[in-house]
Structure 1
Amino acid sequence: MGRHSLPDARRAGSADPRIRARRRNAALATALVLTVVGGAAAAVRGSLFSFDASCQDDVVHIEVAASPDLAPALEAVATDAREKNVTSDGRCLDVSVTARESYEVAAALRSGKKSGTQVWIPDSDAWVERVTGAGTATQVTSLGNVAYSPVGVAVVPSAAKALGWPEKTYTWTELAGGTTRGKKIGLGAVDPALSSTGLLALARISAAASGVEGGDVRTAATAKTLSRRTSDSGTHLLDTLPGDRSDAGRDGPGRNQALILSEQAAFAHNTAQDGGQHLDLFYPEDGSPLLDYPYTLIDEPRLSTDEGRAALRFMTLLGETAPRQFLRMFGFRTDAESPSATLVAEAGGRSPQPYTRVLADSSSKGTVQEALGMWTITVESARITTVVDASSSMAEPVPGGDRSRMDVTKESLLQALATFTAEDEIGLWKFSTKLDGDKDYRVLVPTERLGDAKGAGSQRARLSAAFKSLEPVPHGETGLYDTTLAAYKAAVASYTKGRFNALVVLTDGVNRDRGSISRSDLVSELQKLADPERPVPLIAIAVGPDSDRREVDQIARATGGSGQRVNEPSQIHAAMLKAITAAGAGSPD
């Protein structure tokens, strides 16, 4: 499936260079902001770090949008700061904290909307990466991390006992398989499109299965099963637990005995005073993804000097002894590598569960994009027609090896095919010039459901055979424009409601058909065909270092899709998932 593997997990106290680098980068970023907003020396002279018992008459106010789980702890710190007359440059520091879902803030910032908020603290750097990856987004600057919470699987005691907790440990794939395949234990999660917790767990399951024979198919099946038990928020997810101990063995509609939760969410549930059932927490032995709560400035150039310095003051305050105690009281780790044993116990953990084994780079951009793309096509079910360039240039060897571009393209398409379920509808065209009379294209396998059987084999088997049989056409040129228009017309005409409809075009060159429609006319026709109420994004992938990414991007954006370029065919699958993620977010990258 071509997914990026996650780094090796490290235990507490290890000298992990990635964590040291993160701390060093945070320190450098802090120093940079000090310089930008007035200079480090001036900051010291201006009492940026003072704790005067009295304030001047005026105050400096900043607005903080924070992940809902972190917001109460931040509000406690802000209230304590006001009561103690904490100042910035001699002015009273007044911080207002608003709980906002990370995905909502990210969507607004990606669209370029202006914000009255100076600071954003989402639950994961994955959201910051999504904003910085969008060309039209509002500028965001991450300065460091203020708290941590690993992701695990919280289970009601009866189910935990059946799974062997706490003595028995599981990898992510074993734990997900043991809960989703059994009839006695239902596994729930917040929708990964809306939740870092669900998304990072899915990315870990996907990465762990990568490279294992049949792993991609099992991962897609797990995602499909999980999708039937997703909730739109953490509160709604907890509501799916059995109502009382007598209900703990039931697995009716909406009931879950296991939940993908952060350690902090399990802590908050277990320490609440509502009498809810206690949860035991599994920490997968191959490492827990980490919510890392990045402290992020919004539109930093727009901030006044006072706002910038006050925002930095609040960040430094969160790193001090008393405020860190507030964070720990609300169930957050202030050091990912050295968790409090009390915190872990109240969250439902117990030895020998490996609660110090965390993944420092679990929100890496490539891994998360691939997981989100896989989730999009798995949950919605896909209807995708793939159009592959079969011109003679596809016979050229890939640099550094003896395989052709077509050979590696076929391998990548077969890997991608393994990730689709029987419910997905996939088809295949190939194109060059004059393949079928005057037509530059030929339909090899009509777009149909992979599980459908006709004659001796299934649609999946027919597609697999067709992918393997693809060969470059001797002396064939690249009839890109006419083929793209014909394929897009067919995709729009066969649009299926309730599915992720898309057209994927793979080409290693620019249009070489002299008698074809012009590029400007193609873009105009695609714009006329595109219907926001029946979206069919075109995902155009330029293959090879000499391909033209700008051309395919211009064509694809006419439909709400995007153009990607990969230097070698082995990167095709990751590029497809990135484009699917962008299309699903409604903002092509």
Structure 2
Amino acid sequence: MGRHSLPDAYGAGAADPRPRARRRTVAIATVLVLTVAAGTAVAVRGGLLSFGSSCRDNAVPLKIAASPDMAPALRAVAEHARDHNITSDGHCIAVTVTARESYKVAEALRSDNKSDVQAWVPDSALWVDRVSGESNATRVTAAGSVASSPVGVAMVPSAAKSLGWPEKTYTWTELAGAALRDDRLRLGAADPVRSAAGLLALTQLDTAAATIKGGDTQAAAMAKTLSQRTSDSDSQALDTLPRDSSGPEQGNPQRNQALILSEQSAFAYNSSARGGAGLDLFYPKDGSPRLDYPFTLVDESRLNTDTSRAALRFMTLLGESDGQRILERYGFRTDDEKVSPALVTKAGGRAPQPFAHAALEPTPAKAVDEALGTWTITVQSARITTVVDASASMAQPVPGTGQSRMDVTRASLLQALATFTSQDEVGLWKFSTRLDGDRDYRVLVPTERLGDRKGNGTQRDRLSAAFSSLSPVPNGATGLYDTTLAAYKAATSSYVKGKFNALVLLTDGVNQDPGSISRSALVTQLRKLADPQRPVPLIAIAVGPDADKAEVQEIAKATGGSGQQVNDPAQIHSVILRAIVAAGNQSQG
């Protein structure tokens, strides 16, 4: 944006009198009225003639994609700009706003699909970050936030009353826990993969659960329960509420009594005729994450100066008093320091609910990735075989920790194991060279359901013990290629439909078995085994400075998976979850 100065005077028509243009408009109107009054009236009503400023003769077209909740407000601001002859460098701005789900726009931009819009206003910077994180994506440039809306839990009045609304306040985990304990309090949400409100709430629940004993298990249970009542979008989630909160639908088990929802969505619902008695809104006392509606330029380098300046002019209009009044009329906050009581009341909030608390800090990308990873493997159920390098180099110390690579890897794998549910299938192999006769690998625990019992313990118990006992093989080298091929053959041949199937391989070095298959032959074999109808992505993680990131990327890519590198084995847990999210999104696409 540095190559553009801001538009002139942020110029409204009133600041640019243009008397010559006004006289011309009046003259034309007079002639038309005197000669063809009746026909002109019809034309004006049909929008065929315009009597506005002549700036419209060369108006700058600006196409904006906006989240469905924001689109009506932007259209109203665009109409205001047209009616008041708002200009950019003397040109009117012809704004067209299209409502598009933010996740769909993000996925298109990540794929570098050609965009037909010059600006994008998603409901959250989460989507912008997702696009910016892809090296091959269309470039997007966030110019600033135009509004905000906190995320809370909205309930039909009977459910809210049963929890003591508005006097009683709850944390996120307490609200979710109430839904877990009481089947009558059915909590729904939009799919966190497709909804920023759902994702922000899920991340907050996940973060809060991590601070308590047994929190990982509790977070997985909450996600599992919530997943049974998710909808594809926030608007579809609203359709799951009883149409008549006082009628027989109230007790319908197919209907939700509570939803994770933004304040603006609750405002819009309560303002509509279908809202009936409306919703009451709980604002969690440990803080509400907020949708922040970033105004974003799309592929700025292709925009000419007039277009980019017109886009910035429209954005500044959103921050001016007229624009802010329109945004507030549609239920958006324009000042987090001064919250409108009327807006909160219409959204279903009331003191002493902490609706005016300061917004939470932006959610860290790592926390979002971990929450999405937990969601993916919890909701879909997973079948994952983990293959761990046990070569002698895993005994090398990790600087600054006093632990070896294997020590830190064990701890990270145990942390990852805690995020899986009893329905997930997880197994463990280890590899070096010649661990089992001529084989470079050994199956320590076959891939089975974590809840299955054998003897005195469960599969989870066996895996915990196996992870804890992993140790480097003295003088062992890295038999990477033969192990990868054997493990991938086993994973594809035992594919389970309806689950997220994957192979996770960790290595701290390059292949050191001179008698193994070559890398090119391995890649060829993996491509033959990979079946898009039965996807089993290989998630290959290069651990430490001796591993070859390019090598694991090439190998993993042959299966539709991904190669990652971590210098600190403590990052393995986060990387696995992030890679699972990426692979899950790819399989859904």
Preserved CA contact (<8 Å) 1:60 1:93: yes
Aligned to 1:495: 495
Cα distance in 1 for residues equivalent to 2:390 and 2:404: 12
Paired letter, 1:63: K
In the superposition, relative to structure 1, how do residues 556 and 358 fare at CA in structure 2: closer, same or farther (>3 Å)? Answer: farther
Cα distance in 2 for residues equivalent to 1:553 and 1:480: 13
Cα distance in 1 for residues equivalent to 2:183 and 2:11: 62
In the superposition, relative to structure 1, how do residues 114 and 183 fare at CA in structure 2: closer, same or farther (>3 Å)? Answer: same
Cα distance in 1 for residues equivalent to 2:394 and 2:211: 26
Write the deviation string for residues 406-455 of structure 1: whole angstroms up to 9, x where unpaired. Answer: 11111111111111111101010000100001110000111111111122
Cα distance in 1 for residues equivalent to 2:187 and 2:275: 22
Paired letter, 1:270: N
Paired letter, 1:474: P
**1:351-430 counterparts in 2 under 5 A?**
351-430=351-430
Cα distance in 2 for residues equivalent to 1:540 and 1:371: 21
Preserved CA contact (<8 Å) 1:126 1:364: no
Greater mean alpha carbon deviation, residues 452-461 or residues 360-369: 360-369
Paired letter, 1:343: L
CA displacement at 1:251 relative to structure 2: 4.9
Write the deviation string for residues 79-135 of structure 1: whole angstroms up to 9, x where unpaired. Answer: 111111111111111100000000110111011101110000000000011111112
Paired letter, 2:462: R
Aligned to 2:211: 211
Aligned to 2:76: 76
Three-state SS of the structure 2 residue aligned to 1:274 is: helix
Preserved CA contact (<8 Å) 2:10 2:313: no
| TM-score under structure 2 length normalisation | 0.91
**1:250-329 counterparts in 2 under 5 A?**
250-329=250-329
Greater mean alpha carbon deviation, residues 274-283 or residues 433-442: 274-283
1:518 equivalent to 2:518? Answer yes
Write the deviation string for residues 6-31 of structure 1: whole angstroms up to 9, x where unpaired. Answer: xxxxxxxxxxxxxxxxxxxxxxxxxx
Cα distance in 2 for residues equivalent to 1:522 and 1:234: 45
Aligned to 1:23: none
Paired letter, 1:195: S
Aligned to 1:36: 3
CA displacement at 1:243 relative to structure 2: 2.9
Write the deviation string for residues 256-314 of structure 1: whole angstroms up to 9, x where unpaired. Answer: 11100000011111111235231111111110011000101111101111111111111
Cα distance in 2 for residues equivalent to 1:46 and 1:461: 66
**1:390-539 counterparts in 2 under 5 A?**
390-539=390-539
Three-state SS of the structure 2 residue aligned to 1:505 is: strand
Cα distance in 2 for residues equivalent to 1:111 and 1:91: 34
Write the deviation string for residues 530-566 of structure 1: whole angstroms up to 9, x where unpaired. Answer: 1111111111111123322222111111111111111
Preserved CA contact (<8 Å) 2:566 2:572: yes
Preserved CA contact (<8 Å) 2:118 2:297: yes
CA displacement at 1:247 relative to structure 2: 4.1
Cα distance in 2 for residues equivalent to 1:148 and 1:80: 21
Write the deviation string for residues 169-213 of structure 1: whole angstroms up to 9, x where unpaired. Answer: 111111111113312200000111110011110000001111322
Paired letter, 1:152: G
Paired letter, 1:427: G
Residue identity (%): 65
Write the deviation string for residues 338-358 of structure 1: whole angstroms up to 9, x where unpaired. Answer: 211111111111111111224
Aligned to 1:11: none
Write the deviation string for residues 510-542 of structure 1: whole angstroms up to 9, x where unpaired. Answer: 111111112122112111111111111111111
Greater mean alpha carbon deviation, residues 106-115 or residues 160-169: 160-169
Preserved CA contact (<8 Å) 1:148 1:291: yes
Three-state SS of the structure 2 residue aligned to 1:540 is: strand
Greater mean alpha carbon deviation, residues 236-245 or residues 573-582: 236-245
Cα distance in 2 for residues equivalent to 1:49 and 1:444: 75
Preserved CA contact (<8 Å) 1:200 1:362: no
Aligned to 1:52: 16
Cα distance in 1 for residues equivalent to 2:10 and 2:156: 53
Q: May I ask how many residue pairs the two structures share in their alignment?
A: 552
Cα distance in 2 for residues equivalent to 1:509 and 1:60: 57
Cα distance in 2 for residues equivalent to 1:88 and 1:50: 13
Aligned to 1:15: none
Paired letter, 1:449: R
Cα distance in 2 for residues equivalent to 1:249 and 1:239: 12
Three-state SS of the structure 2 residue aligned to 1:503 is: strand
Paired letter, 2:528: K
Cα distance in 2 for residues equivalent to 1:50 and 1:446: 75
CA displacement at 1:71 relative to structure 2: 0.4
In the superposition, relative to structure 1, how do residues 567 and 379 fare at CA in structure 2: closer, same or farther (>3 Å)? Answer: same
Preserved CA contact (<8 Å) 1:422 1:449: yes
Cα distance in 1 for residues equivalent to 2:485 and 2:12: 61
Preserved CA contact (<8 Å) 2:10 2:87: no
Preserved CA contact (<8 Å) 1:68 1:100: yes
Three-state SS of the structure 1 residue aligned to 2:60 is: strand
CA displacement at 1:397 relative to structure 2: 1.5
Three-state SS of the structure 1 residue aligned to 2:274 is: coil
1:542 equivalent to 2:509? Answer no
Three-state SS of the structure 1 residue aligned to 2:403 is: coil
Aligned to 1:6: none
Cα distance in 1 for residues equivalent to 2:209 and 2:403: 26
Preserved CA contact (<8 Å) 1:60 1:307: yes
Gaps of 5+ in 1: 1-32
CA RMSD, 1 decimal = 1.8
Paired letter, 2:443: V
Paired letter, 1:95: V
Cα distance in 2 for residues equivalent to 1:373 and 1:45: 48
Preserved CA contact (<8 Å) 1:392 1:474: yes
In the superposition, relative to structure 1, how do residues 215 and 299 fare at CA in structure 2: closer, same or farther (>3 Å)? Answer: same
Paired letter, 1:338: K
Preserved CA contact (<8 Å) 1:73 1:330: yes
Cα distance in 2 for residues equivalent to 1:411 and 1:205: 23
Paired letter, 1:203: T
Three-state SS of the structure 1 residue aligned to 2:541 is: strand
CA displacement at 1:584 relative to structure 2: 1.6
Paired letter, 1:199: L
| TM-score under structure 1 length normalisation | 0.91
Determine which structure has greater relative contact order: mean sequence separation of CA pairs < 8 Å that are 6+ residues apart, divided by chain length. Answer: 1
Q: Which has the larger radius of gyration?
A: 2
In the superposition, relative to structure 1, how do residues 229 and 487 fare at CA in structure 2: closer, same or farther (>3 Å)? Answer: same
